[in-house]
Structure formats: C-alpha cells, structure tokens
Structure 1
C-alpha cells in the first residue's frame, strides 16, 4: 500500500496566479519553438550542398568521410538531408560561442 502525504500551504491569489502564469508561459514558449522548427526533409546532392556551403566538392567528400556531414547513399548516388546540414551549421555555431 502506498501512502501519500498532502501538504497544504497558504498562498495568496496573486502568488498562485504568478506561479501558474510562469509555468504556462514556459509551456507556451516550448510549444512555439516546436512549431517554428522547420520540418525540412528535402534531399540535396553533393553539388547543391557545396553551393549552399560555398565549398568545393572535395571538401564535401572530406567532411563526409570524417563525419561532419552524414551522407545518404541510394545506389551510386549520394544525398544529404537539408535539415541535417542546417543542424550541423547550428551546432558549429553553438560550439564556437563556448
């Protein structure tokens, strides 16, 4: 059998409203962040990624081999998810700020 203890403390209506509004605001902010995240599943070729990042095809190949970029292979073709590229750029930006 599980015993539960209920503890009651006195709070004013203003304190309660403030706590509820803080929690609600946090939940709304998280929800808006999720909604505004781009859901991009577009596949890009090596050439499109090179143009996007303003680097050579050789650099794209090197970055794929060392794990900076994650290629998707379909037969003898290589693609990259656009969202993965954007996430990598964001991660690199965050790492430089530290």
Structure 2
C-alpha cells in the first residue's frame, strides 16, 4: 500500500481553496454521537447510579432501552437528555 500522494499541476493556492470549505463543514461525529449506543455499565457511569436504579428508570419509562440479542443498550444522547436540572 502506497502512503504518498503526489499532486501534479495544482498550486498551493488551488489546494488550499479546495480544502478550506471541506474543513469548515460541520463534523459528522455529532450525528454519530446522537445515535451511539452504550451498554448498561456506561449508562450507569454517566448517571452515577447502579444497575437496579437504571432498571427502575427503564421500567418507569424515564429511559428508553434498545435490545440486540440479549444485550440491553441505550442511546447516549437520550441518557444525557434524561438528566434534568433541579430548579431551586
């Protein structure tokens, strides 16, 4: 596998003009994190709770779980959204 890229017939200005708009576009990582699935241990770590409490929140409908086979997964964005501020 070759790791070099050779550019012929293009100036540095043309290359910069072509790359700057690509670098300024929003990253697709934000879309990826909204659909990122995490396990029960990761959800417990984010919420600072144990597995029993996580199960209670899931059964009560506060959190939505997703299953693949025998695994219970949560969307990271939904876990983060479930944390609500307390108004004093």
- The alignment partner of 2:38 has SS state of strand
Q: Which has the larger radius of gyration?
A: 1
Work out the number of aligned pairs and report it: 58
Displacement of 1:52 in angstroms is 1.3
**Which of 39, 43, 54 in structure 2 is aligned with 1:45?**
39
Displacement of 1:56 in angstroms is 0.3
Q: Which runs of 5+ in 1 are unaligned?
A: 1-34
Flag as ranges the 4+ runs of structure 1 deviating above 6 A. Answer: none
| Structure that is richer in helix per residue | 1
TM-score (norm 2): 0.58
Q: Which runs of 5+ in 2 are unaligned?
A: 1-25
Displacement of 1:88 in angstroms is 1.6
- Higher RCO, 1 or 2 (CA under 8 Å, sep at least 6)? 2
